[in-house]
Chain A
């Protein structure tokens, strides 16, 4: 499977600031996904990062709050803007792999705490 890395692994931020999370894959992938996992909760899809086009956001998530870049087929960033304590979560990127992309693998996650 592809090796997926994320930076930073964790951060503590002040409310009102922004944080950019990076996701790097060691192979070219068509799609990358960004998920949020709030404390003690399940994973919720934020958006699909498409190379060469705008990201596709899920209901409840907007580009102004979570701008995404996808400059090439191995890299994506997710920015959490104007943060509030409610944004404290683990943010994970993932890529589909395997035959017909039937499996999906995740990065190690970024644990964000907003004070």
Chain B
């Protein structure tokens, strides 16, 4: 099974500042997908951003962007201009290209200071 590692249990950021969440994964496959999910206290899992392994260009969704380093098996999430509504648990997830099951990291709790 693939291993997804999030080494930061908690991160704190000042409102309007930038925070970067780290994620590394272990796989021997060449075809896979990576995701960042947000889980606010409501517990709803919200898809933030998706990256296909075959794409060299880093994905961007508004204030959210990733730094995908395929050789290093690293997939970090940058939240720019942080807002109070960004406070949540963030999960990094991996999916094999030949399957649809997700493997999740342990999660990082993001706190936004006003």
Which A residues are within 8 Å of any B CB, using their own CB? 31, 33, 37, 41-45, 48, 58, 90, 92, 94, 96, 101-106, 108-109, 111
Contacts and interface: CB of A to CB of B under 8 A. Distances in A.
B107 A103 contact: no
A109 B100 contact: no
A21 to B, nearest CB: 14
Interface residues of B, number: 19
Interface of B: 33, 35, 42-45, 47, 50, 52, 91, 95, 100-107
15 contacts: A33-B100, A41-B106, A42-B107, A43-B45, A43-B91, A43-B102, A43-B104, A45-B101, A96-B100, A102-B52, A103-B47, A104-B102, A109-B44, A109-B45, A111-B43
Given A105-B47, A111-B43, A31 B104 contact: no
Contacts of B103: 45
Nearest to A10: B43
Given A31-B100, A104-B100, 5 more contacts: A43-B45, A43-B91, A90-B43, A92-B45, A102-B50
A110 to B, nearest CB: 10
B91 A42 contact: yes
B47 A104 contact: yes
> Which residue of B52, B91, B101, B107 has the most chain A CB atoms within 10 A of its CB atom?
B101
Contacts of A106: 44-45
B33 A108 contact: no
Contacts of B95: 104
Nearest to B95: A104
A102 to B, nearest CB: 6
Contacts of A102: 33, 50, 52
Contacts of B100: 31, 33, 48, 96, 101, 104
A103 B50 contact: yes
Nearest to B109: A40
A109 B91 contact: no
Contacts of B43: 37, 90, 108-109, 111
